[in-house]
Structure 1
């Protein structure tokens, strides 16, 4: 018998074992939840307990149903201090942490572990999120932002119990209770009919540059197209490369309007999220199979149109309070698991170092033609594979490059490979009617024609003017053919883009836009389309324009209406 050094793979095995020991001290998922779990009721028509429904009747009033599910799990009670003085020191749990963990475990029991397992589309390393959690546990103030569309606004979600029942507001309340030793900041941004093409250019109109954690809701409003996929990729890159190096969590919802896709841009965007190591959670994964299996439960998860008085027409685009709560629980449980990791990792550092030292020594048994590492026999073939692993690890240093885990890849998945090309950081100038920093305003406008009973009265119509259909949907519009609007712009890289509305039902028309007097480069923006969506769209007017000051002109061509909400230059 003789001792040899076995290389890094046994080290990895030992680290994994030590990590599992560390997690066990947190009593993670110490009980099963089959009686109330998501995965146990598909064989019959009995709804799970977290739906808050009388099992004998299968129904309940809208307010009663929402009230009962909100009572499940409750909020967190604030107890003693968390016991962390700085990152890396031993973490000693107090009463506050005990209460926090017990309530989260109860929530998992109510929903069922399968519900949360299915909700994780991509977990990744969570390296950035854990860094933010370490700061929060140390008592630092964390700045949280939310970017989303009308789901984030809370459209058609009843508010019988709380002022704001949206998923992010419920998560924000939980976050403050989970980390009570600092005053955190919260910037929720919800704009109807808006997705990543807008936010990728205009997020700094709404969020501070010092943001620490961003929750994204764009899966429903983004379309399944390369254009929207690139916008989502650009949005992730722009956020990840901010000086504050924020963490991002993507939250995917779904909609089921008649004769429309059940999945939109979120399907494509997931590839970029995985590539850039952005955790992605989904309420679609557990709930869409549920409503397909039990269509009668659709009203439980989706809101109701205001005109129906809360008891009639179901809105298949926006979640109910129960849907928002389920999304909030998904966010809470994911973040809580990262808290447990951080706490367990800090408290087990010495033990891990000790096991690392021991695991580098193996004992050869020549009779059995194997190696004991430590106490477990591995064959010669396994040892040969370990040598390949060892050479890989030695050449790449993979697994110990903590400083590279947050590096943003230099190329997009949608690019053609090139050995030296890279995507430079880009922060365009955005002027928006819904922004907080630089409001969109036009320089001048001319009147168009008035059409009445088939007769055209030249020059007697309106020009362009500000108008809104709701506080979240503000536009500069015209309804007069021939009306022209002019904007003053300044460009650096030479890009000019307009964010405008597309719809199949609002009677929208087309606009023709150009820069300065270059009418030969005019671009036609089409307002009406045949898809059953009313959604903002990014129109590219010019690329490669000379740097400096210019004038952007747009004119309404033909009948209809045209709506502009933002102007983007780069």
Structure 2
């Protein structure tokens, strides 16, 4: 019987197994270390490719600046006074540029009311309306993109006035102007809001008709029951200046701002001198001749923040009694300064900041009974917040009495309360909506009612306030629709007053357009009918209606 030799198969297999174990052991150790490093340390990417998560203020704690007991209250804001050593934005742009960015300041009474509420530790709802720039096209393509100015401003606001119930709503729509928002803004604003920022200086056309639509937008927001403050925010674009010169849409918007005592802030002063010296010097602020880049949105947010910082300095000085430039709602150490005393999130009603009617009425009656001096101050402040009794072109002792507007919007992009399908059955008209929720869905003109069959008739019920009714439709290039098609539209049975609307135009791109078809229509319920013109049985290029609007 022979013993196994050292070179036998069994011995060789055992030796190979030990060598394989020695090789794989350090490899597995290295892989384990790499895995631990991956989970313990944040990934390093270049700033150009990093994905920034959307901002959240859910974990913030409210801060009440006015609930203080010290006899001498130090200013809690580093940026006050304006252009002091702590004012970073003031040092960056300088007093001249920032002063010129405030195209119209007005009394600032509505803004001061919002800031006084924030100083008292109460939550604030901020809303944005605008076109492609405010919709963050070119800067994340997400309405709450962290590189876009609405989110940047909201993040700054929460560093100054932290509150978990403060909200930001962005109702901006790409390629949308005052012709739509003047009548449909309520579809894009919450029922209760404190501040509405409107950015349309590059979307509107500089003419009288568009100014009328813009006025309806501003007036309809100011007369809302919640009486929000409104601020106009202007974006400067090379294309707008190349087309219209210095007196662009911002010139017409400023007329409305002055009439309604609404502040108007613009980045024009920061870009215009460099643009005129060398247009290429401002290219980093744009992704195309209109849209702002992330750097452009940083500029917009800083100009906006600079304005609010100056107003906060004023609000603090007034609240502490060291200045008398505005009428405070709350003062430091007063009962009203206890922002969190009446509600879980610092508001007074069920929704943050919305007073309960019974308590509000009781407080007002008690104030009146004891003859509080703050009552007269509040009354004085209320006078500053009134909306003019007529519109810009209203004349005293006119032939017709003034009818207050009550904008009514029947829009194809209203997916919450769409027109019932029964209105389309057998009409020859159909509703079109893009697929998905982003991209094209954020463009107003992507939703429409359409027909290509002549004699097709669509009837839409309306509610009329101020008496004007218009059809919002899509004008399209001749190169796309040829001779195009046309509809005739009228109100109720006023067929004799029907207006013919054609969709073919000598333009480069499709443009949503508002055409007013009737005026001085009585207040109340009415209907609008539109019929596609042409020879029955022969199709024509598709006509697209985006909405029917009334003042």
In the other structure, the counterpart of 1:332 is: 305
TM-score, normalising length: structure 1: 0.66
Of 267, 280, 284, the residue aligned with 1:300 is 284
Q: Deviation at 1:545?
A: 4.8
In the other structure, the counterpart of 1:21 is: none
In the other structure, the counterpart of 1:464 is: 430
**For residues 565 and 345 of structure 1, what CA distance do their matches in structure 2 show?**
48
Over 3 Å counting, the alpha-carbon distance change for 1:550 and 1:349 in structure 2 is same
Query: Between Structure 1 and Structure 2, how many residues are aligned?
Result: 428
**Structure 1 residues 255-264 or 221-230, which shifts more?**
255-264
RMSD: 3.9
In the other structure, the counterpart of 2:454 is: 482
Q: Deviation at 1:179?
A: 0.6
Q: Deviation at 1:230?
A: 1.4
TM-score, normalising length: structure 2: 0.68
The answer as to whether partners of 1:206 and 1:436 remain within 8 angstroms in 2 is no
In the other structure, the counterpart of 2:393 is: 414
List alignment gaps of at least 5 residues for structure 1.
1-62, 304-314, 353-399, 449-462
**For residues 159 and 492 of structure 1, what CA distance do their matches in structure 2 show?**
36
Query: Which entry has the higher C-alpha Rg, 1 or 2?
Result: 2
Q: Is 2:243 the partner of 1:260? A: yes
**For residues 73 and 508 of structure 2, what CA distance do their matches in structure 1 show?**
53
Structure with the bigger percentage of strand: 1
The answer as to whether partners of 1:215 and 1:249 remain within 8 angstroms in 2 is yes
Q: Deviation at 1:441?
A: 5.3
**For residues 252 and 188 of structure 1, what CA distance do their matches in structure 2 show?**
16
The answer as to whether partners of 1:201 and 1:430 remain within 8 angstroms in 2 is yes
The answer as to whether partners of 1:145 and 1:188 remain within 8 angstroms in 2 is yes
The answer as to whether partners of 2:232 and 2:263 remain within 8 angstroms in 1 is yes
**For residues 277 and 478 of structure 2, what CA distance do their matches in structure 1 show?**
32
Q: Deviation at 1:472?
A: 1.5
List alignment gaps of at least 5 residues for structure 2.
1-45, 326-378
Over 3 Å counting, the alpha-carbon distance change for 1:176 and 1:539 in structure 2 is same
How do 1:58-457 residues align onto structure 2 when only pairs under 5 Å count?
Answer: 81-85=63-67, 92-94=74-76, 97-98=77-78, 105-158=87-140, 163-181=145-163, 183-257=165-239, 260-262=243-245, 264-303=248-287, 315-349=288-322, 401-418=380-397, 423-435=402-414, 437-440=416-419, 443-444=423-424
Over 3 Å counting, the alpha-carbon distance change for 1:98 and 1:286 in structure 2 is closer
Q: Deviation at 1:64?
A: 6.5
Over 3 Å counting, the alpha-carbon distance change for 1:555 and 1:137 in structure 2 is same
**Structure 1 residues 412-421 or 294-303, which shifts more?**
412-421
**For residues 350 and 232 of structure 1, what CA distance do their matches in structure 2 show?**
35
The answer as to whether partners of 1:229 and 1:268 remain within 8 angstroms in 2 is yes
Q: Deviation at 1:256?
A: 2.8
In the other structure, the counterpart of 1:564 is: 545
In the other structure, the counterpart of 1:530 is: 506
Over 3 Å counting, the alpha-carbon distance change for 1:348 and 1:496 in structure 2 is closer
In the other structure, the counterpart of 1:542 is: 518
In the other structure, the counterpart of 2:337 is: none
The answer as to whether partners of 1:151 and 1:319 remain within 8 angstroms in 2 is yes
Q: Secondary structure at the match of 2:274?
A: helix
**For residues 225 and 86 of structure 1, what CA distance do their matches in structure 2 show?**
51
Q: Deviation at 1:234?
A: 1.9
The answer as to whether partners of 1:445 and 1:484 remain within 8 angstroms in 2 is no
The answer as to whether partners of 2:135 and 2:174 remain within 8 angstroms in 1 is yes
Of 543, 555, 561, the residue aligned with 2:532 is 555
The answer as to whether partners of 1:251 and 1:282 remain within 8 angstroms in 2 is yes
